[in-house]
Amino acid sequence: MWNEPYLETCCRSALNRLKIVRALGRPPGLKDGPCLERLARMGLCCERADGRYEITEAGIERHRSEILKQPREAA
């Protein structure tokens, strides 16, 4: 059953960029800023003390299922 909020194409792209940069994080003030804020509200990334956004475990799982199209890992 589908129960996750829909991610717009721009937000999926922002999530993919977060996955690529990993611990470096994405700086604030870029064009994908609104998407990063939305992803943070959804718990898929978090804003660090230095203002950069970093992907969370939930974000990694969502990236796996929605962008890579791989099945969810068993809990």
- What is the pLDDT, as a whole number, of residue 74? 60
- What is the pLDDT, as a whole number, of residue 1? 41
- What is the pLDDT, as a whole number, of residue 14? 97
Domains of the chain: 9-67 (1.10.10)
- Reading the chain (75 residues) residue by residue, the pLDDT tens digits are 456 678 899 999 999 999 999 999 999 999 999 999 999 999 999 999 999 999 999 999 999 999 998 876 665
pTM above 0.85, yes or no: yes
Instruction: Convert 4-36 into a string of H (helix), E (strand) and C (coil).
Output: CCCCCHHHHHHHHHHHHHHHHCECCCCCCHHHH
- What is the pLDDT, as a whole number, of residue 69? 87
Report yes or no: 40 and 53 within 8 Å, Cβ to Cβ. yes
